[in-house]
Chain A
Amino acid sequence: MTGATLTQSGGHHALRFFLLRTLQFIAVLATTLLGLVAVTFFIGRIVPIDPVIAIVGDRAPPHVYARVRQELGLDLPMIQQFWIYLKKAISGDFGNSVLTTNPVMTDIINVFPATLELATLGTIIGCLVGIPLGVLAAVKRGSLVDQFVRVLGLVGYSVPIFWLGLMALLLFYAKLGWVEGPGRLDVTYSYMYTPVTGIVLIDTLMQGQMDAFWNAVSHIILPTCLLGYFSLAYISRMTRSFMLNELAQEYVIAARVKGLSEIKVIWRHALRNAAVPLVTVIALSYAHLLEGSVLTETIFAWPGLGQYITNSLQNADMNAVLGGTLVIGTAFVILNLLSDLLYRLLDPRTR
């Protein structure tokens, strides 16, 4: 009887807590996003190029200059300018790209799937290889596997990604010929399918274009393995430390005393508890791959968001640069907060 009321009130409490958390989550999200918009607005203002002169040229008569200045809203007070910028940013309007003449948002929607494809596959590789490696390193502390994970991590934290990418291209593409080079598909295959999702691997597979599919696999394997390496270097190191923490707990001793096999103790009991903080780590690593894609895409001529930003940079296309920065920043914030929320959902102790 008392038990029933307890659980009921407990459930009620948990629900209220969850609602409160969600509200807090939304508040944090809103202020952080507002801050992101403010930072990009500020960056846009410190550009030493006068946007009016960029449009009318430096020999335009004063009244033309004044008219364009007014049209751009530059004669308004700063706060009002920010308000207009904010309203536009919320509706996804970052202005037009000088380079492609399209609205920046349209461009970003076009290039984002390519980045998503790369970062997602990279994270999958990172998890599939990194988690077992980390567990083994923790279980056999000081062994060869442990040393290997340590070295993997150290190299991953120290090596410039763009250099490693170039060296991988040199070895596996130029010298050994195992994989295809830069780009997403060979030109011959690029008209054999119709883009639907924007993710070449899915599109070609769905339309049964197996030749094109395998060509795409051969193209994507090097950049994903590169991103996957950075992801696994981080994930394996964190898995190791979480597992060491769990293996020292008393419930592990209890499970062993109970006579459970070592495999069950490690993979079913300890890893399940280590998985809770791991979710955060995986989300963080995913967010970092979005960033790592900037340099990786440049090297592999991968038509994603990273390449879009760097191309725009080299052409002083500030609308595109700031739009892209804001999109990556937003993805970063949402992934961070989601991982935080998932952590609270998965770990009953945080309630």
Chain B
Amino acid sequence: MSSAASLPQPAGLRAWLLSPEPTSRWQARLGRAYLGWRTFTKNPLAVFGLGIVLLLLLVALFANFLAPYSPVTGGDLRTARLLPPSAAHWFGTDDQARDIYSRVIYGSRITLWVVLLVSVIATPIGLLIGTVSGYLGGWVDTVLMRLTDIFLAFPRLVLALAFVAALGPGIENAIIAIAITSWPPYARIARAETLMIRNSDFIAAVKLQGASTPRIIFGHVVPLCVSSLIVRVTLDMAGIILTAAGLGFLGLGAQPPMPEWGAMVATGRNYLIDQWWVAAMPGLAIFVVSLGFNLLGDGLRDVLDPKAAK
């Protein structure tokens, strides 16, 4: 360490990022992000996970170019049904003579859509309930937390099943059902963070300046809870994908002919013994994608929430 001063100082962008005396807020923020990135890339599994997630994004974006066939209309039912994997059909074809590879490619859009919508719906609900409950305390806290506990008490898939049963099967209802079952852990985390923030000096200072309660909650408490929630949501994404696929498998998620991976596995179940690829390929896609989200979430936790990593 003592010889650090005599070493040649790194120049350029890296030096600017790692500067111990940032001259602007932007420089400080970018520097923090760079340090986080360095920690993140030290974990090869996390980088692998990020790779999978990026691949999913790209595949979903360019599905039109990547898929050689249509995902919903099949080929000739007399000759192209249930073909094994070959050069023409990489993952084989299903009972409707559709190319499974193309269906898996297009299915990535549905998966991504589900994950995105569930997190967009569930995170704000959890954040709102958690911060309000933690900041106000008292009977509001008691009521909101008991409500959270009740939702936590249900096993997730079973509650989602009951909701979809009531709302009717379909991708939108599956998304709503999963979102309804996803927010309680977020509320718990946001509350725990808020309890720590509530008594800090800067909140007291803002209060003395006459800030209203909503202003304190939304302007000062919420932004500080976001980073730990992002970690939790990323870690949860694999669970969201698995629940959505489970609902799809039971015929309660996306309806045919949508190429939803869980529903595709359910179709393959009828041809399991002789045409294994119909069930195996979409299931493998679910596995790889949720593995990617799990690895990415683990890596993000190490960067954003070093305490939890131990």
Residues of A within 8 A of B (CB): 28, 31-32, 35-36, 38-40, 43-44, 46-48, 154-155, 157-163, 166-167, 169-170, 174, 287-288, 290-291, 294-295, 298-299, 309-310, 313-314, 316, 318, 321-322, 324-325, 328-329, 332-333, 336
Contacts and interface: CB of A to CB of B under 8 A. Distances in A.
Interface centre among B157, B166, B246 (most CB of A within 10 A): B166
B257 interface: no
Nearest to B45: A154
B162 A336 contact: no
Contact of B161 (A174, A299, A325): A325
B286 A163 contact: yes
Contact of B265 (A31, A163, A170, A336): A163
B155 A314 contact: no
Number of contact residues on B: which range applies? Answer: 35 or more
B276 interface: yes
A310 B159 CA distance: 12
Nearest to A325: B162
Contacts of B242: 158, 160-161
B305 interface: no
B250 interface: yes
Interface of B: 146-147, 149-151, 153-159, 161-163, 165-168, 238, 242, 245-246, 249-252, 262, 265, 268-269, 272-273, 276, 279-280, 283-284, 286-287, 290-291, 294-295
Contact of A160 (B147, B162, B246, B252): B246
B161 A313 contact: yes
B53 to A, nearest CB: 13
Contacts of A32: 146, 149-150, 153
A162 B246 contact: yes
Contact of A158 (B153, B165, B238): B238
Given A159-B287, A294-B158, A313-B250, A332 B153 contact: yes
Interface centre among B154, B249, B272 (most CB of A within 10 A): B154
Contacts of B245: 160, 162
Contact of B166 (A38, A43, A288, A309): A43
B283 A294 contact: no
Interface centre among B165, B283, B294 (most CB of A within 10 A): B165
A161 B146 CA distance: 31
